[in-house]
Amino acid sequence: MRKLIALFLSLLALAATPAMAGERVSVTVEETVFVSEGGSERFVASMPAAVPQGIAQFGPFRVLDAGRAALVDVTDARSPAQFAALLKAFPGVSLIEMIDCPGTEDDRANLALGRMIRARGIATHVPQGGSVRSGGVELFLAGVRRIADPGSEFAVHSWADEDGREARDYPESAPENRAYLDYYAEMGMSADQARAFYAMTNSVPFESALWLGATDMARWVPLD
């Protein structure tokens, strides 16, 4: 059962802490973070984007045409199988438009989904007005090409387990942290880049969020 926590934050003074992120980030003064009692959910709600109907739907995905799909909702444990079904029905899909991506209800399944995107050689694109938040960022990183238009937004924060412990409460070598560092390496980051990016996301508590624009994200990962 989900608990909805409304947070009214004054984030105007918030900046990314690592040296790589020297530019002021884009922020919001109001956000909503969903917290799961079981600790398996990690997503940030925002103002809903216009969701295309598409020609077919597979869970949080909408098929826009033979070559493009859109991600428009939270991913969960069913998402890898739903994405596999999408690719079977539309094998020509080579681009995911990330329109409204609040995050995930299952981090393990989300990372598996990201690996599927990368293995298939699919690009990820956040259009102007598109929003990629929390666990959705891992899926954006999965793109073999990553495109973020001006006016797109990203939100990152730490994960938390069922006991309320966050990434910083575990050693870097702990399996809980290695799962993300290994994933980032698979997505093309060097070991140093993976640690720096992961540290940036975990500099923000689970109950909050750090908002980044396309220019900010480009300081952390290469964008096309």
What does the pLDDT look like over 88-103, one tens digit per residue? 999 999 999 999 999 9
Domain containing 6 equals 2-218
Question: pLDDT category, 32, cuts 50, 70, 90?
Answer: very low
Q: With respect to residue 52, please indicate whether it lies within any of the assigned structural domains.
A: yes
Checking if the pLDDT of 140 tops 90, the result is yes
Q: With respect to residue 129, please indicate whether it lies within any of the assigned structural domains.
A: yes
User: What is the rounded CA–CA span in Å between residue 11 and residue 211?
Assistant: 9
What would the mean pLDDT of 30-36 be, rounded to a whole number? 36
Q: With respect to residue 223, please indicate whether it lies within any of the assigned structural domains.
A: no
Residue 186, domain CATH: 3.90.226
Q: What is the mean pLDDT of the chain?
A: 83
pLDDT tens for each residue of 64-86: 999 999 999 999 999 999 999 99
What would the mean pLDDT of 181-190 be, rounded to a whole number? 98
Q: With respect to residue 55, please indicate whether it lies within any of the assigned structural domains.
A: yes
User: Where is average pLDDT lowest: 26-40, 43-57, 58-72, 207-221?
Assistant: 26-40
Question: pLDDT category, 43, cuts 50, 70, 90?
Answer: low
Q: With respect to residue 224, please indicate whether it lies within any of the assigned structural domains.
A: no
Q: Model's pTM, two decimal places?
A: 0.80
Q: What is the structure's pLDDT at 132?
A: 97
Q: With respect to residue 122, please indicate whether it lies within any of the assigned structural domains.
A: yes
Q: What is the structure's pLDDT at 9?
A: 30
Question: pLDDT category, 27, cuts 50, 70, 90?
Answer: very low
What would the mean pLDDT of 114-118 be, rounded to a whole number? 98
**HEC profile for the chain?**
CEEEEEECCCCCCCCCCCCCCCCCCCCCCCEEEEEECCCCCEEEECCCCCCCCCCEEECCEEEEECCEEEECCCECCCHHHHHHHHHHHCCCCCEEEECEECEECCHHHHHHHHHHHHHCCCEEEECCCCEEECCHHHHHHCCCCEEECCCCEEEECCCECCCCCEHHHCCCCCHHHHHHHHHHHHCCCCHHHHHHHHHHHHCCCCCCCEEEEHHHHHCCCCCC
Q: With respect to residue 40, please indicate whether it lies within any of the assigned structural domains.
A: yes
Q: How many structural domains comprise the chain?
A: 1
In order of 38, 175, 220, the CA distances from 98 in angstroms are 27, 29, 19
Neighbours of 168 (CB within 10 A): 13
According to DSSP, the β-strands at 31-36 and 42-45 are antiparallel
Q: Is residue 138 left, alpha or beta, with left meaning phi > 0 and alpha meaning psi from -120 to 50?
A: alpha
Q: With respect to residue 125, please indicate whether it lies within any of the assigned structural domains.
A: yes
Neighbours of 121 (CB within 10 A): 10
